[in-house]
Chains A and B, each alone.
Chain A
Amino acid sequence: MDRRDFFKAAGGSILLAASGAYAFQFLTAPSKAWTKIAAQTAGRKWGMLIDLTKCPPDCDACIQACRQENNVAFLGDKRWDVHWIRKVNLKPAIGGRGAEKQAILLCNHCDKPPCAQVCPVQATYKRPDGIVIVDHHRCIGCRYCMIACPYNARFFNFKDCEDWPNKDYPKRSHGVAESCNLCVHRLDKGLLPACVEKCQAIGAGALMVGDINDPESDIYRAIAAGGVRRLKEDLGTEPKVYYIGL
């Protein structure tokens, strides 16, 4: 390689590196809308507390409320049904001779969400206020997030759903993965998520949503009182759904 070639190569690589760095900055810079949301929700972190001791048996009010609010598909086939929130019966490790417990499972809105890390198009992301949300106009349907989620909280819209009970909210389209978004459209308007509202309306009060960063909030006091558990804490995903009586 003579000197001229060397300068050509060196100049080329510097140019390439500079344009790469510029593109990187361009690709990763937060948008204006994002900055606005961040300012609005400064310091806030939404969390959920589920008190299973108050959860009435054979009650599916929260599940129905979620379907009504979010137009989530119910087709009657376990393989393709979508459950943003679901109820399970558990055989606990201790107290085996006693009755089975029940638990409510939903997206844990992890503070370090693996689903958001693996999303190739940032369709899944964590809002500044801690809600993990899917932009269903952006999702390409690769289903990597479903593989990455340790809680099986993500569901894919395999079929088009004809039900459209809530006309104020978009119909779910097929070909994208989605999960609970903590009714972000309601929270932003100052309303409670549909499941929480319903649970309080029927007088059970098993579900609670609030700002876990606010030491004055009810949810903070309930969590700080102790006796709460989160699912698979050892994974380090920092879930923001807390359980009492699990």
Chain B
Amino acid sequence: MEINFGRIEGNSLAYRLMMLTFALLTVSGLIATFYIINQGLWVTGMHNRVPWGLQIVMAIYYIGLSAGSLVISGLYGVFGKSEYKPFARIAVYLAALLLIAGLLSILTDQGRMDRVFVQPFFHFNLLSLFSINPILYISYILICIIYLWALFYEKQKFTKVISIIAFAWAFGVHSGTGAIFGFGARVLYESPLLPASFVVAAMASGTALMIILLVTVFKLTKRYLDDELIIWLGRLLAILVIVVLYFLLVENTYRAYVVEMRRAAIYFLFSGAHSLVFWIGLIFAGLVLPLIILFNRTRGKSIKWIILASSLVIIGVLCERYVIVIPGLTHPAELVPGGEITYSLAQEGIAKYSISYLEVLQALGVLGVIGFMFGWGLKYLKLLPSEARAFKLEKNAA
């Protein structure tokens, strides 16, 4: 079956409004960033006890979202489901953009952005995950570009090879990102499970994003999209969500079971705003509700309901990223074993973090940048297949 790829016209009012919105978001993000550079990071919600804030949450969230490409490449490159190959172009393009978004979020979070492009080249530290990860990210972006080249020029054999490379590399990218926290020395960070659970949550959010984007873009550009393909992705999403739930269960049971971590587990699960984010945002709305929808016999096959479930998963995984980063910092480390600090010149005990509007503007600015580039790509690159059909069973019957 020959598939033709095309661009969109990009003349409609909706498209122009979308691009204008993204451009405005970018500008507001830039203004916020310049203000922060000028004033110092104290104008954000961060302080000495919570030195990582929304920008880090968003960075790992964006990087996780890029796993949609991992799923698509895996489906046809590794598992041979070639009916998903038509989506590869848009998935890989999006993955590269989301990796750029992650890098932009990290960049704009630095205290001295001017040095980021200089110092690592002179004083590279191989042992730091903050050195290893950028290499993984940048090389992954390069792999995505080569991959896109292979797709655009229809190099059949090479596409297969690079899809497998990209699939494997993405595991490194997401595991490395999870390891920043999992290999950290804080009670609520330290967990060898985190790189693995990060990969699965990334795949869930990536699949959900692919479902939403494919359905929306195909519908808006009046292209035929076989429901069967989306329903199958929905089923995959359900399985991934179950695995995410399982990892969360293991991790939290472990923390609650081991005496030295029990206080931290209680803090994580039952106190503060982050507990609400965990129970309501992540567990209930982000994971259980989508499962109920996706496993329902009729709703699991309705595209509208699958879209709803996917949107919930996307929000749920954002909540997951938040509860990875923030509670681990607000929870106090026991500085003097056996002694509870009652007074100090600095902040001790449980710290507070509230997101500042500047950080929100920065996060939206990054979204604006990649949204604009995505829209640009739809107009100028041949990303979209003319149609997407599931292979019918006749072939097997014959």
A residues in contact (CB < 8 Å) with B: 24, 27-28, 63, 78-83, 86-94, 100-101, 103, 105, 114, 117-123, 138-144, 146-152, 155-160, 174-177, 231-232, 235, 246
Contact = CB atoms under 8 A, between A and B. Distances in A.
B343 A118 contact: no
B127 A78 contact: no
20 contacts: A63-B345, A86-B345, A87-B344, A89-B342, A90-B339, A90-B341, A91-B341, A92-B338, A93-B339, A121-B124, A140-B113, A140-B115, A140-B116, A144-B128, A148-B185, A150-B185, A152-B335, A156-B41, A158-B47, A231-B337
A92 B120 CA distance: 44
- Give the interface residue-count category, chain B: 35 or more
Contacts of A176: 111-112
Nearest to B184: A147
A203 B375 CA distance: 71
Contacts of A80: 42, 47-48
Interface of B is mostly: loop
B341 A89 contact: yes
Query: Which of A80, A89, A147 has the largest number of chain B CB atoms within 10 A?
Result: A147
A156 B51 contact: yes
A140 B110 contact: yes
Contacts of A78: 345-347
Contact of B123 (A86, A117, A118, A122): A122
B333 interface: yes
A241 B141 CA distance: 45
B221 interface: no
Contacts of A142: 106, 109-111, 130
Nearest to A135: B123
Contact of A156 (B111, B189, B336): B111
Given A140-B112, A147-B329, A231-B337, A158 B48 contact: yes
B394 interface: no
B379 interface: no
B262 interface: no
B40 A121 contact: no
B366 to A, nearest CB: 17
A75 B348 CA distance: 17
A58 B109 CA distance: 39
Interface string B87-129: 0000000000000000000100111110110011011111111
B340 interface: yes
